[in-house]
């Protein structure tokens, strides 16, 4: 006994009976033994319960989990009764081997419904394919909508649904974190996408190659459009009504909804496609506004954005007219002549003629290929030491001409003088942009599709019960101490006492010390 | 005695005031959580008496801040006190100021055995914790000032949960320090807290992550109020045990033997913190599953966070079994708990950073 960590010897006038009482008051149970000078006391049997609870918990959780797993289907699949469908078929064409009836015990299926659309079947995604799950009711989507915070970020995704079940109709609204249960099946808001929105567009050529034309388009459809010599196709995969941006205003970053954007693939007759994204509202930047439209060659790369200055009405028309003027031969020539008339240093006719020709060429080069074109001309034809000064004067000339050509726009206050430089940069930049016209969205009818998830999980309640057992079990195991005490009366007043526990740590030592102290204190009385 | 009365009174006043005035902003579950937290807080104040003082100090600081704000966030700019001391961002910055000071004091205390610096270490930690908790409470209030629908409990992104981590780990350590007189472990436990502090500072200054953002729809649930704190009690406890394990493993080097508590005490503390952490982590994972069932339509989807939570759970389950069932003690368990911290850290941040999934709310 002496090898116990908590072993004490003490003297007492009490007899074993009285000492046992002290232990009983501490919550111990006394075990009778045959030896009259030995008392065994025990406490903390709940700890045993801890083991039972934890292990029971693991069994219950496993059973619950199995109930909700797809074991049944796996068996049916192995027996060849059911199989996964891999082809892309309509629900009605899927063979019965890949359909599961509404009595199916447990499932997690998804259903994408357009607004006003209804269905009584859902899809179960399986490895490499899918299964069709019959539902005990029919769901119709009345409406999908998004609520926003004042900052513009989405606050809530909601679907108004209509459920037909055994001849009764239920109107319900579901949203993320607020599902609805009917007949053992819980319906969740899990996803959404465009459901084929209708868009009314104006297509505007960035290079004034054709007059703006109107186009009615639909998301997911092939929307064709012809110019004189090409046939193009717009494909919209999505239409976003809202875009949340971090906008810099007065030095502070603010989150703002900047309105709709269109994303589309633009295909020419040879089938080659480029992808575009165009924000419909001008985006503020240092107290000016710009239209942003991006292009990318493939889905892996980032969009490269063209930044078009907005006119004073916050429209893109200003830029369109600017380009139209820029490309007008009549205006170019007229303004070059005016420039020559003002330039006193051009004394003779020959100098005038050559200046006129040079200026005209420079400007045409710019119109054809922007500043990069000018740079390569200079590199080719001007000696290195003069390149910089020449470049400067060319840029001045281009700017000067652009400004005078667009005098009217400035006079009519459609644009400011500061617009010219921005617009020239945009023009020069726009050569990467490719063939797509700039797309202006006039009107739209947003149609949503709502992604629902339908879950039947009869095992869930068992998993929860098991989880509760688990917590109780672990708690008992860690915090309930099983303590055994042996008290031996060695001689009349001399006792020995030993404590044992399956959790021997500092608290246990203190616990024993305290009890022994009590025995001694009582003794002194 | 007066302290206890004040403590209980202020809990009742705060809870009662919210119950009377804010019911329209709470669903029945949130009301339930609030009502249940009254007895839990009262009990906790008696379980750990220092908590009463912490609570009252934070309560007073919060009330003064609310008074100074006068219901308008813009008042922060003009008011000296708010701008430099009582706005949530300043309070949290003060936290990040005092935790390092506390670490330095503890180290000096350990090396020189200077009782004064030992006290200083403890007190600096207390100041940091008061500042941090007040910071979170004020942040909660500020979020409602931004807009009523933006308002939410500040444990919803990586920045906020890191602050929570520092606070929980710090408080747990102070509890043990007081109870087991283990001041000498301060210089170890404060290391991990300061690692988190460094992250918060980097995250704030390099990424401006300290701005209050509205909640994405998936997170708008009363479950967040219990799921996340439970998780972080788990994380905090596991970190403390790992830091004690570090001290334990180094006990024979650098002449630390004289400084550190006995191995028996360290083993015991390691065990205790893993045990409490394990219970809370279990509860948190279960709550997570229940929440997942409600938000995503399935209680277990083998999402990376779920999978890693399970790994962490199994890891500490194994640890506890080895100690309790096999009676193992000593270096192996200490190493295990140290390595356990790596696993836990990965579950905590690694998953958010490197694995995609439904849990990637925090981004770098
Ligand atoms: C079985 C299900 C779940 C498990 C096992 C689980 C596990 C965890 C774990 C281990 C953490 C640790 C804290 C962290 O690393 O940040 C955590 C945090 C968190 N969980 Fe869960 N969770 C579950 C479900 C959910 C659900 C359904 C949601 C909300 C839709 C959720 C929201 C959060 C949030 C907001 C945090 C803290 C913030 C953060 O990590 O940035 N959890 N969860």
pLDDT digits (tens, 9 = 90+) for B200-246: 999 998 877 888 888 888 888 888 889 999 999 999 999 999 999 99
A474 to chain B: which residues are within 8 Å by CB?
A: 278-279, 282
Report the predicted TM-score, pTM, of the whole model to 2 decimal places.
Answer: 0.80
Please check the confidence at residue A487 and state whether its pLDDT lies above 60: yes
Q: Is A167 helix (H, G, I), strand (E, B) or coil?
A: coil
ipTM associated with this complex: 0.82
Best probe of the A interface among B143, B297, B327, by most A CBs < 10 A, is: B297
Please check the confidence at residue B45 and state whether its pLDDT lies above 90: yes
* Whether the Cβ atoms of residue A186 and residue A179 lie closer than 8 Å to each other: yes
Q: Extract the runs of DSSP E, i.e. beta strands, from A375-482.
A: 438-445, 448-456
A470 to chain B: which residues are within 8 Å by CB?
A: 282, 286
Contact B279 A455 (CB under 8 A): no
Considering chain A, what is the average pLDDT of its residues?
A: 87
* Residue A65 in contact with partner chain B when CB distance is under 8 A: yes
Q: Please give the DSSP secondary-structure letter assigned to residue A14.
A: S
pLDDT at A524: 41
Contact B293 A155 (CB under 8 A): no
Please check the confidence at residue B31 and state whether its pLDDT lies above 50: yes
Q: How far apart are CA A310 and CA A282, in angstroms?
A: 7
pLDDT at B314: 95
Q: How far apart are CA A236 and CA B99, in angstroms?
A: 54
* Cα of A188 to nearest chain B Cα, Å: 6
pLDDT digits (tens, 9 = 90+) for B159-197: 999 999 999 999 999 999 988 878 889 999 999 999 999
Q: How far apart are CA B228 and CA A400, in angstroms?
A: 63
C-alpha of residue B305 to centroid of ligand 1, in Å: 7
pLDDT at A248: 64
Place of tokens 């939570």: B309
- Confidence band, pLDDT 50/70/90 cuts, at residue A201: very high
* Residue A463 in contact with partner chain B when CB distance is under 8 A: yes
Q: How far apart are CA A184 and CA A459, in angstroms?
A: 11
More confident residue, A256 or A452: A452
Of the given ranges (A135-144, A377-386, B74-83, B271-280), which has the lowest mean pLDDT?
Answer: B74-83
* Cα of A243 to nearest chain B Cα, Å: 15
Percent of chain B predicted with pLDDT > 70: 97
pLDDT at B361: 47
* Whether the Cβ atoms of residue B188 and residue B247 lie closer than 8 Å to each other: yes
Q: Decide: B218 in ligand 1 pocket, CB within 6 A.
A: yes
Q: Decide: B344 in ligand 1 pocket, CB within 6 A.
A: no
Q: How far apart are CA A370 and CA A433, in angstroms?
A: 13
Mean pLDDT, range A375-389, rounded to an integer? 89
Tokens of B317: 């389950």
Contact A470 B286 (CB under 8 A): yes
Please check the confidence at residue A403 and state whether its pLDDT lies above 60: yes
Tokens of A241: 């009504």
Helix (H) or strand (E) holding A469: helix A460-479
Of the given ranges (A316-330, B269-283, B317-331), which has the lowest mean pLDDT?
Answer: B317-331
C-alpha of residue B288 to centroid of ligand 1, in Å: 6
Mean pLDDT, range A458-468, rounded to an integer? 94
Residue nearest to atom 20 of ligand 1 (CA): B228
Tokens of A504: 């021997």
Tokens of A227: 């110019």
C-alpha of residue B204 to centroid of ligand 1, in Å: 22
Q: How far is CA A122 from the centre of its chain?
A: 24
pLDDT at A1: 61
Mean pLDDT, range A217-238, rounded to an integer? 85
Q: How far apart are CA B238 and CA B234, in angstroms?
A: 6
Residue nearest to atom 21 of ligand 1 (CA): B288
* Residue A107 in contact with partner chain B when CB distance is under 8 A: no
Contact B147 A155 (CB under 8 A): no
CA angle B109, B114, B118 (to 5 degrees): 50
Residue nearest to atom 5 of ligand 1 (CA): B306
A455: nearest CB among B217, B278, B298: B298
Q: Decide: B131 in ligand 1 pocket, CB within 6 A.
A: no
pLDDT digits (tens, 9 = 90+) for A350-377: 888 888 898 999 999 999 999 999 999 9
pLDDT at A138: 95
Q: How far apart are CA A488 and CA A4, in angstroms?
A: 14
More confident residue, B229 or B71: B229
Mean pLDDT, range A478-498, rounded to an integer? 84
* Whether the Cβ atoms of residue B238 and residue B274 lie closer than 8 Å to each other: yes
Question: B15-23 long-range contacts, Cβ below 8 Å, gap at least 24?
Answer: none
Q: What is the 3-state secondary structure (H, E, C) of chain B?
A: CHHHHHHHHHHHHHHHHHHHHCHHHCCHHHHHHHHHHHHHHHHHHHHCCHHHHHHHHHHHHHHHHHHHHCCCCCHHHHCHHHHHHHCHHHHHHHHHHHHHHHHHHHHHHHHHCCHHHHHHHHHHHHHHHHHHHHHHHHHHHHHHHHCCCCCCCCCCCHHHHHHHHHHHHHHHHHHHHHHHCCHHHHHHHHHHHHHHHHHHHHHHHHHCCCCCCCCCHHHCCCCHHHHHHHHHHHHHHHHHHHHHHHHHHCCCCCCHHHCCCCHHHHHHHHHHHHHHHHHHHHHHHHHHHHHHHHHCCCCCCCCHHHHHHHHHHHHHHHHHHHHHCCCCCCHHHHHHHHHHHHHHHHHHHHHHHHCCCCCCCCCC
pLDDT digits (tens, 9 = 90+) for A161-191: 999 999 999 999 999 889 999 999 999 998 8
Nearest Cα residue to B171 out of B102, B111, B228? B102
Of the given ranges (A248-257, A409-418, B14-23, B81-90), which has the lowest mean pLDDT?
Answer: A248-257
- Give CA separation, A477 vs A18, A31, A51, A480, B276, in Å: 31, 23, 7, 6, 12
* Cα of A157 to nearest chain B Cα, Å: 7
Tokens of A130: 């899918």
The pick from B214, B231, B301, B341 for probing ligand 1's pocket by mutation, whose C-beta has the most ligand atoms within 8 angstroms, reads B231
Contact B296 A505 (CB under 8 A): no
Nearest Cα residue to B178 out of B3, B46, B50? B50
Q: Decide: B203 in ligand 1 pocket, CB within 6 A.
A: no
Please check the confidence at residue A522 and state whether its pLDDT lies above 70: no
* Cα of B82 to nearest chain A Cα, Å: 19
The pick from B153, B227, B236 for probing ligand 1's pocket by mutation, whose C-beta has the most ligand atoms within 8 angstroms, reads B227
Q: Is A191 helix (H, G, I), strand (E, B) or coil?
A: strand
Q: How far apart are CA A263 and CA A241, in angstroms?
A: 11
pLDDT at B149: 85
Contact A470 B275 (CB under 8 A): no
- Confidence band, pLDDT 50/70/90 cuts, at residue B26: confident
More confident residue, B121 or A1: B121
Mean pLDDT, range A506-520, rounded to an integer? 79
Tokens of B262: 């006995």
DSSP string, A297-359: SSTTSPPEEEEEE--TTSSSHHHHHHHHHHT-HHHHHHHHHHHHHH-TT--SHHHHHHHHHHH
pLDDT at B362: 44
Q: Decide: B305 in ligand 1 pocket, CB within 6 A.
A: yes
* Cα of B9 to nearest chain A Cα, Å: 31
B115 class by beta-carbon count within 10 Å (0-12 exposed, 13-18 middle, 19+ buried)? exposed
Close Cβ partners of B138 (under 8 Å, ≥ 6 residues apart): B61, B62, B65, B86, B87, B88, B91
Close Cβ partners of A15 (under 8 Å, ≥ 6 residues apart): A489
Cβ-count burial A144-161 (b if 16+ within 10 Å, e if not): bbeeebebbbbbbbbbbb
* Residue A474 in contact with partner chain B when CB distance is under 8 A: yes
pLDDT at A164: 94
Considering chain B, what is the average pLDDT of its residues?
A: 90
* Chain B CA closest to residue A179: B294
pLDDT digits (tens, 9 = 90+) for B138-163: 999 999 998 888 889 999 888 999 99
């Amino acid at each position: 006994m002496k090898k116990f960590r908590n072993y004490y010897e003490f003297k007492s006038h009490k007899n074993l009976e009285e000492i046992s009482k002290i232990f009983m008051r501490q919550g111990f149970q006394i075990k009778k033994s045959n030896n009259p000078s030995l008392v065994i006391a025990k406490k903390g049997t709940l700890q045993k319960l801890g083991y039972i609870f934890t292990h029971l918990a693991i069994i219950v959780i496993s059973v619950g989990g199995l109930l909700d797993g797809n074991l049944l289907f796996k068996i049916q699949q192995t027996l060849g009764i059911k199989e996964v469908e891999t082809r892309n078929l309509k629900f009605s064409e899927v063979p019965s081997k890949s359909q599961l009836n509404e009595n199916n015990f447990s499932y997690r299926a998804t259903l994408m419904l357009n607004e006003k659309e209804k269905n009584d079947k859902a899809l179960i995604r399986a490895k490499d394919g899918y299964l069709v799950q019959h539902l005990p009711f029919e769901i119709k989507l009345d409406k999908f909508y998004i609520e926003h915070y004042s900052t513009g970020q989405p606050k809530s995704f909601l679907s108004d649904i209509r459920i037909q079940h055994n001849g009764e109709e239920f109107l319900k609204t579901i949203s993320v974190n607020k599902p609805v249960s009917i007949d053992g099946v819980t319906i969740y808001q899990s996803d959404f996408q465009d459901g084929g929105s209708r868009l009314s567009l104006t297509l505007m050529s960035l290079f004034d190659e054709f007059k703006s034309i109107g186009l009615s388009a639909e998301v997911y459809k092939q929307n064709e459009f012809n110019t004189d010599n090409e046939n193009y196709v717009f494909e919209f995969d999505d239409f976003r009504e809202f875009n949340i941006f971090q906008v810099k205003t007065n030095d502070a970053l603010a989150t703002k909804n900047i309105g709709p954007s269109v994303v589309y693939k633009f295909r020419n007759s040879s089938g080659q496609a480029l992808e575009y994204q165009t924000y419909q509202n001008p985006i503020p930047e240092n107290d000016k506004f710009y239209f942003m439209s991006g292009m990318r060659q493939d889905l892996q790369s980032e969009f490269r954005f063209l930044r078009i200055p907005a006119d004073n009405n916050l429209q893109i028309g200003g830029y369109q007219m600017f380009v139209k003027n820029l490309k007008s031969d009549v205006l170019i020539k007229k303004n070059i002549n005016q420039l020559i008339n003002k330039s006193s240093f051009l004394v003779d006719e020959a100098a005038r003629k050559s200046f006129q020709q040079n200026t005209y060429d420079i400007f045409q080069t710019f119109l054809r290929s922007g500043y990069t074109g000018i740079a390569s001309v200079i590199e080719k034809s001007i000696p290195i030491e003069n390149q910089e000064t020449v470049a400067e004067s060319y840029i001045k000339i281009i700017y000067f001409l652009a400004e005078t050509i667009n005098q009217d726009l400035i006079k009519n206050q459609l644009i400011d003088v500061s617009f010219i430089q921005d617009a020239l940069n945009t023009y020069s930049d726009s050569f990467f942009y490719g063939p797509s016209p700039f797309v202006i969205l006039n009107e739209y009818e947003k149609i949503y599709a709502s992604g629902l998830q339908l879950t039947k999980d009869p095992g869930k309640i068992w998993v929860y019960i098991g989880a509760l057992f688990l917590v109780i079990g672990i708690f008992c195991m860690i915090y309930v101490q099983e303590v055994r005490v042996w008290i031996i009366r060695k001689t009349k007043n001399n006792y020995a006492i030993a404590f044992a526990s399956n959790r021997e740590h500092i608290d246990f030592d203190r616990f024993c010390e305290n009890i022994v102290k009590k025995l001694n204190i009582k003794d002194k009385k | 005695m007066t302290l206890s009365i004040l403590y209980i009174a202020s809990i009742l006043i705060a809870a009662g005031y919210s119950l009377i005035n804010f019911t329209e902003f709470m669903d029945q579950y949130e009301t339930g959580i609030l009502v249940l937290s009254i007895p839990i807080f009262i009990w906790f104040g008696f379980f750990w008496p220092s908590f009463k003082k912490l609570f009252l100090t934070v309560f007073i600081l919060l009330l003064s801040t609310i008074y100074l704000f006068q219901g308008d966030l813009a008042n922060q700019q003009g008011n000296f006190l708010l701008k430099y001391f009582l706005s949530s961002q300043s309070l949290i910055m003060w936290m990040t100021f005092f935790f390092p000071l506390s670490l330095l004091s503890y180290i000096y205390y350990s090396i020189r055995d200077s009782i004064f610096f030992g006290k200083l270490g403890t007190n600096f930690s207390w100041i940091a914790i008061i500042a941090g908790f007040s910071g979170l409470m004020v942040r909660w209030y500020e979020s409602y000032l931004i807009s009523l629908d933006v308002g939410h409990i500040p444990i919803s992104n990586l920045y906020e949960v890191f602050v929570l981590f520092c606070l929980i780990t710090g408080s747990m350590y102070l509890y043990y320090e007081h109870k087991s007189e283990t001041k000498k472990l301060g210089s170890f436990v404060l290391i991990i807290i300061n690692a988190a502090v460094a992250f918060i500072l980097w995250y704030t200054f390099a990424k401006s992550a300290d701005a209050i953002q509205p909640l994405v729809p998936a997170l708008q649930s009363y479950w967040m109020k219990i799921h996340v704190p439970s998780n972080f009690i788990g994380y905090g406890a596991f970190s403390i045990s790992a830091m004690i394990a570090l001290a334990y493993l180094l006990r024979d080097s650098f002449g630390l033997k004289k400084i550190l508590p006995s191995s028996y005490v360290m083993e015991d503390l390691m065990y205790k913190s893993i045990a409490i952490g394990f219970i809370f982590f279990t509860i948190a994972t279960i709550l997570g599953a229940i929440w997942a069932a409600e938000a995503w339509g399935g209680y277990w989807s083998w999402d990376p966070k779920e999978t890693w939570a399970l790994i962490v759970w199994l890891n500490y389950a194994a640890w506890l079994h080895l100690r309790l069932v096999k009676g193992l003690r000593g270096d192996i368990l200490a190493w295990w708990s140290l390595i356990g911290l790596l696993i836990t850290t990965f579950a905590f941040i690694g998953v958010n950073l490197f694995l995609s999934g439904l849990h990637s709310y925090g981004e770098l």
